[in-house]
């Protein structure tokens, strides 16, 4: 009713008077004394008045419905699907964001859920418990930011879809982007708990991983025009990488990059005790253990913009963090054919045994070291951490499928 115009109210009043007149006629018919007081109700004209008013109100409503009579436009929320503006003040969600959410984010997340549900099914035979575990994935507090954005884009799944404004859609995509790494970490924790360290090479999970990898890469590529569009509000970040992650190379394709770790620590290249320096670069009495890996270009061509990211998984996970090369103290480097340089993989306090420190494997690892570069597949190695052995950092391999 808040959007009714004059014609709507005229029709409504006519129908109301018709109903009232009919009731009044019935009342005076059974009350002679009242009829004497209201002679105009008990007349011949009055008996036809309800029908006349009812027909008049009905005609007005029909003419309004077919568009012959147009009332004053009253501002209010839109009542039609996207593409049919009913209010000049309402700005619809850009088609670019709608397509990105429905064609890329939703398929990528669904592919991720398939892997997670398969990992849960691998560990849990009880169907009821498995069902509750699957529901718990979406209820995880750490992924709540992503899920808020995901529930927002589900408004397009109704028929007709609910109206979504530009500001709302930007906020949904922003939450999806900022919360996506938590979803990745959730899947990684499940993978480690199930004993599947590398989903990409595990025969049971490789097909699912490949489907997710393709949708993930397509999503990252589709987001580039969005973050370069100045009309996208807080999503406009042309000079910075997105939070969706890096392009994932084909696990089956050979990479010219190699990650080398020598447990014999030749020439103390791979770990050593380093001195802590203050803000002016001067040495202090404190020290720490630093572990490094050699990154080598095994091809006959120069590989440009080689970069290393390090991420702790397991009981105390961390977000992926950029490392730096020892030779130039920079996050990237160009490697000539056959060239290799050391990159920092992890640092630990000295001495290793201290109050509050957890001793044994699993607490501070595994640590995933990923090396990537321009236009080539990334390569990854996983290291376990055990502060009670030497070296503290050591390579681990995929445990493979568990016996059924």
Could you tell me the two tokens for 99?
Answer: 């397509």
> Quick one: CA torsion of 104, 121, 314, 362, rounded to 10 degrees?
-160
Q: Is the pLDDT of residue 251 over 80?
A: no
pTM over cut 0.75: no
Q: Which CATH superfamily is domain 257-396 in?
A: Immunoglobulins (2.60.40.10)
Q: Is the pLDDT of residue 200 over 90?
A: no
Contact between 10 and 60 (Cβ < 8 Å): yes
φ, ψ for residue 15 (rounded to 5)? -65, -35
Task: Give the separation between CA 148 and CA 155, rounded to whole angstroms.
Answer: 12
Which has the closest alpha carbon to 105: 234, 202, 5, 245?
A: 245
Beta bridge partners of 291: 271, 346
What is the tens place of the pLDDT at every residue in 174-193?
Answer: 999 999 999 998 998 888 78
The band of 401, judged by pLDDT with boundaries at 50, 70 and 90, is very low
Task: Give the separation between CA 184 and CA 320, rounded to whole angstroms.
Answer: 11
Percentage of the chain beyond pLDDT 70 is 76
Hey, where are the domains in the chain?
A: 6-66, 95-235, 257-396
The band of 399, judged by pLDDT with boundaries at 50, 70 and 90, is very low
The band of 74, judged by pLDDT with boundaries at 50, 70 and 90, is very low
What is the tens place of the pLDDT at every residue in 128-169?
Answer: 988 898 888 888 889 999 999 999 998 887 778 788 899 999
Task: Give the separation between CA 89 and CA 336, rounded to whole angstroms.
Answer: 58
Beta bridge partners of 272: 290
Could you tell me the two tokens for 362?
Answer: 């699993």
Contact between 53 and 14 (Cβ < 8 Å): yes
């Amino acid at each position: 009713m808040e959007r009714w115009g004059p014609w709507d109210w005229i029709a409504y009043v006519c129908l109301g008077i018709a109903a009232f007149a009919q009731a009044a006629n019935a009342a005076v018919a059974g009350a002679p004394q009242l009829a004497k007081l209201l002679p105009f109700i008990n007349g011949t004209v009055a008996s036809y008045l309800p029908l006349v008013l009812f027909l008049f109100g009905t005609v007005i409503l029909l003419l309004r419905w077919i568009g012959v009579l147009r009332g004053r436009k009253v501002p209010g929320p839109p009542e039609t699907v996207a593409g049919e503006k009913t209010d000049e003040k309402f700005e619809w969600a850009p088609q670019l964001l709608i397509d990105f959410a429905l064609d890329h984010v939703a398929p990528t997340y669904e592919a991720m859920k398939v892997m997670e549900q398969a990992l849960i099914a691998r560990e849990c035979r009880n169907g009821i418990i498995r069902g509750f575990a699957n529901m718990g994935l979406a209820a995880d507090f750490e992924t709540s930011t992503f899920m808020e954005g995901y529930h927002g884009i589900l408004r397009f799944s109704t028929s007709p879809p609910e109206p979504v404004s530009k500001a709302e859609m930007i906020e949904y995509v922003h939450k999806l982007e900022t919360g996506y790494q938590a979803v990745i970490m959730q899947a990684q924790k499940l993978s480690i708990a199930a004993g599947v360290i590398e989903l990409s090479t595990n025969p049971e999970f490789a097909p699912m991983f490949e489907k997710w990898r393709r949708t993930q890469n397509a999503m990252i590529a589709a987001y580039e025009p969005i973050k370069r569009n100045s009309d996208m509000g807080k999503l406009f970040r042309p000079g910075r990488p997105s939070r969706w992650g890096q392009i994932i190379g084909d696990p089956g394709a050979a990479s010219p990059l190699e990650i080398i770790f020598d447990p014999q620590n030749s020439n103390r290249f791979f770990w050593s005790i380093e001195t802590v320096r203050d803000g002016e670069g001067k040495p202090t009495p404190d020290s720490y253990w630093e572990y490094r890996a050699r990154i080598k270009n095994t091809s006959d061509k120069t590989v440009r913009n080689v970069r290393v990211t390090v991420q702790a998984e397991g009981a105390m996970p961390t977000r992926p963090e950029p490392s730096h090369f020892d030779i130039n103290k920079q996050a990237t480097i160009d490697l000539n054919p056959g060239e290799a340089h050391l990159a920092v993989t992890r640092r630990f306090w000295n001495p290793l045994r201290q109050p509050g420190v957890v001793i044994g494997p699993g607490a501070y690892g595994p640590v995933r070291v990923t090396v990537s570069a321009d236009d080539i597949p990334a390569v990854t190695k996983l290291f376990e951490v055990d502060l009670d052995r030497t070296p503290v950092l050591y390579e681990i391999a995929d445990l493979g499928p568990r016996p059924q």
